[in-house]
């Protein structure tokens, strides 16, 4: 019996020793001196996106609808990773109205986003009053709140510096694909007003854009009688040299164009993406106190404008991630659905810094090629099934001998759309 008790005591000691060793190993890895991560603290209230790939926490820490809420208004919707949240400060100074912001927060980014949202609300009353937040993260990289509280000691100025220098670009978030369109849809679904302007978070509206559009909408009864309005009100976009202030109005913008500090957006990297906004024509309309339509623009296959439209406008296709066709596809669908594009005369957007060809991330070309295949061989086929219309964003390009192309309109030698394909082909043949 005594021997059995001794063996039992030894057995218990062995178990205790093993447990103690496991406990120490969990909190301190002797081999490399690194501490293991804290246990994950999960978020509550999440829902899945349509694909099941992403989880969304809508209206994160929402304080409720304010007493001055007005449905007949226009909201700004935007999206970002946490290293761009500092842009909200200037954005709210210029917009001064409802903003719906979705934030990509995989893994422990959720902790820092939680801190940033709390401190931004404490530091900046306009953010506290006007911004609703929606957190998005992959189902395979769950948002983790285990480090929440780490940034709460920062002052308001320190917080902005911390956010701006967080350490990565949108297209390289720890090797995780950046789901632009899932984020855009999350932000748009958080819009509570009748009209919405969706922009990237580092693109700033001119001062007074929101109030001038509300006046324009009231003058044209857009909030009441035009409930089926299928117009996208295009806001031309420009880029300003880094380090300079954003122009507040059209006169200052045009002065910047004259002195060489301002140019059309993506002028160096994708000039054709915004050429339809026809800057040379737009600048001839003088700055006025009230906003109006300058002209109606024709859709173009590479166009990706920013615009104000009713909240019923088609959603973004969430299959498009990273770089390429993520906005073009939605403009394509709007065109096929029957939308018209009217360019506003007194409204504009500006991006801080000029876009340079060498600034893109390493996988930009391969991501663009993958999205090109998705756009041309899958998305367009889906549109043909979805809409009963002759409109298409798939121009047919028959081969024309080079020595005969000059006889065609513009020397291009291609059919503009399937709608007039037979008619244009007959014209082409006659000119050969």
Tens digits of per-residue pLDDT, 216-248? Answer: 999 999 998 777 789 999 999 999 998 889 999
Query: How many angstroms separate the CA atoms of 257 and 255, rounded?
Result: 5
Residue 414, pLDDT > 50, answer: no
Task: Give the pLDDT confidence score for residue 360 in this predicted structure.
Answer: 58
Res. 432: pLDDT tops 50: no
User: Which of 107-111, 156-160, 350-354 has the least mean pLDDT?
Assistant: 350-354
Give the model confidence (pLDDT) of 71-99 as tens digits.
999 999 999 999 999 999 999 999 999 99
Rounded-to-integer distance, Cα 373 and Cα 381, Å: 12
Q: What is the pLDDT of residues 38-63, one digit of tens each?
A: 788 888 888 988 888 999 999 999 98
CA distance 125 to 141: 32
The arrangement of secondary structure in 46-384, i.e. its CATH architecture, is Alpha-Beta Complex (3.90)
Per-residue model confidence as pLDDT tens digits over 372-405: 889 988 899 899 899 999 888 876 555 566 666 5
> Looking at the predicted structure, is the pLDDT value of residue 22 above 50?
no
| Cβ–Cβ < 8 Å for 251, 289 | no
Would you kindly state where each structural domain of the chain is located, as residue ranges? Answer: 1-36, 46-384, 395-431
Average pLDDT of the residues of the chain: 84
Distance in angstroms (rounded) separating the CA atoms of residues 204 and 87: 9
CA 296 – CA 233 distance, rounded (Å): 9
* pLDDT for residue 415: 36
Which stretch of 79-83, 135-139, 213-217, 422-426 has the lowest confidence by average pLDDT? Answer: 422-426
State the Cα–Cα distance between residues 377 and 366, nearest whole angstrom.
Answer: 17
Exposure string for 119-146, b = 16+ CB within 10 A, e = fewer: bbbebbebbebbbbbbbbbbeebbbbbb
Q: Whole-prediction pTM value?
A: 0.81
| pLDDT at 371 > cutoff 60 | yes
| Mean pLDDT on 423-432 | 40
403 burial via Cβ count (<10 Å: 0-12, 13-18, 19+)? exposed
Alpha-carbon distances, residue 398 vs 91, 331, 420, 421 (angstroms): 47, 25, 13, 10
Q: What is residue 426's predicted lDDT score, i.e. its pLDDT?
A: 44
Q: Given a cut of 50, is residue 431 above it in pLDDT? A: no
Residue 54's pLDDT is 96
Nearest to residue 83, comparing CAs of 138, 186, 177, 162? Answer: 162
The C-alpha angle with vertex 184 and arms to 178 and 190, in degrees rounded to 5, equals 135
What is the C-alpha separation between 299 and 193, in angstroms, rounded?
27
Q: What percent of the chain has pLDDT over 90?
A: 59
* Alpha carbons 372 and 96: distance in angstroms, whole number: 37
Q: Given a cut of 60, is residue 29 above it in pLDDT? A: no
Question: How far apart are the C-alpha atoms of 210 and 76, rounded to whole Å?
Answer: 9
With both helix axes pointing from N to C terminus, report the angle between 209-219 and 88-95 in degrees, rounded to the nearest 10.
40
CA atoms within 13 A on the CB side of 16: 6
Beta-carbon count within 10 A of 396 CB: 14
For 302-318, how does the pLDDT look when each residue is reduced to its tens digit (9 = 90+)? 899 999 999 999 999 99
């Amino acid at each position: 019996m005594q021997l059995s008790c001794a063996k039992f005591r030894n057995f218990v000691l062995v178990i205790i020793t093993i447990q103690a060793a496991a406990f120490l190993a969990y909190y301190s890895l002797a081999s490399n001196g690194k501490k293991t991560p804290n246990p994950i603290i999960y978020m509550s209230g999440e829902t899945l996106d349509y694909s099941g790939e992403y989880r969304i926490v809508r209206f994160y820490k929402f304080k409720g609808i304010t007493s001055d809420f007005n449905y007949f208004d226009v909201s700004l919707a935007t999206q970002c990773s946490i290293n761009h949240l500092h842009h909200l400060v200037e954005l709210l100074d210029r917009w001064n109205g409802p903003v719906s912001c979705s934030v990509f927060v995989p893994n422990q980014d959720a902790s820092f986003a939680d801190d940033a949202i709390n401190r931004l609300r404490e530091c900046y009353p306009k953010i506290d009053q006007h911004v609703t937040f929606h957190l998005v993260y992959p189902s395979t990289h769950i948002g983790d709140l285990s480090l929440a509280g780490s940034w709460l000691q920062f002052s308001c100025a320190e917080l902005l510096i911390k956010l701006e220098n967080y350490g990565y670009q949108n297209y390289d978030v720890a090797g995780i694909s950046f789901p632009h369109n899932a984020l855009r849809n999350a932000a748009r679904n958080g819009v509570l007003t009748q009209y919405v302007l969706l922009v990237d978070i580092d693109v700033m509206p001119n001062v007074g854009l929101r109030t001038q559009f509300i006046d324009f909408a009231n003058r044209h009864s857009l909030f009441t009688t035009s409930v089926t309005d299928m117009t996208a009100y295009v806001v031309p976009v420009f880029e300003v040299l880094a380090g300079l202030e954003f122009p507040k109005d059209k006169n200052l913008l045009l002065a910047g164009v004259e002195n060489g500090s301002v140019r059309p957006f993506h002028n160096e990297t994708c000039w054709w993406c915004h050429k339809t906004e026809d800057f040379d024509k737009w600048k001839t309309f003088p700055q006025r106190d009230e906003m109006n339509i300058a002209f109606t623009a024709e859709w173009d296959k590479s166009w990706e404008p920013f615009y104000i439209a009713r909240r019923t406008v088609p959603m973004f296709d969430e299959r498009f991630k990273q770089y390429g066709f993520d906005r073009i596809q939605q403009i394509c669908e709007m065109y096929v659905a029957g939308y018209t594009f009217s360019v506003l005369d007194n409204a504009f957007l500006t991006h801080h810094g000029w876009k340079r060809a060498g600034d893109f991330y390493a996988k930009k070309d391969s991501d663009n090629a993958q999205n090109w295949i998705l756009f041309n061989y899958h998305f367009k086929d889906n549109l043909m099934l979805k809409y009963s219309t002759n409109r298409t964003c798939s121009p047919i390009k028959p081969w024309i001998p080079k020595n005969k192309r000059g006889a065609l309109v513009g020397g291009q030698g291609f059919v503009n759309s399937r709608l007039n394909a037979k008619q244009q082909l007959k014209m082409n043949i006659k000119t050969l």
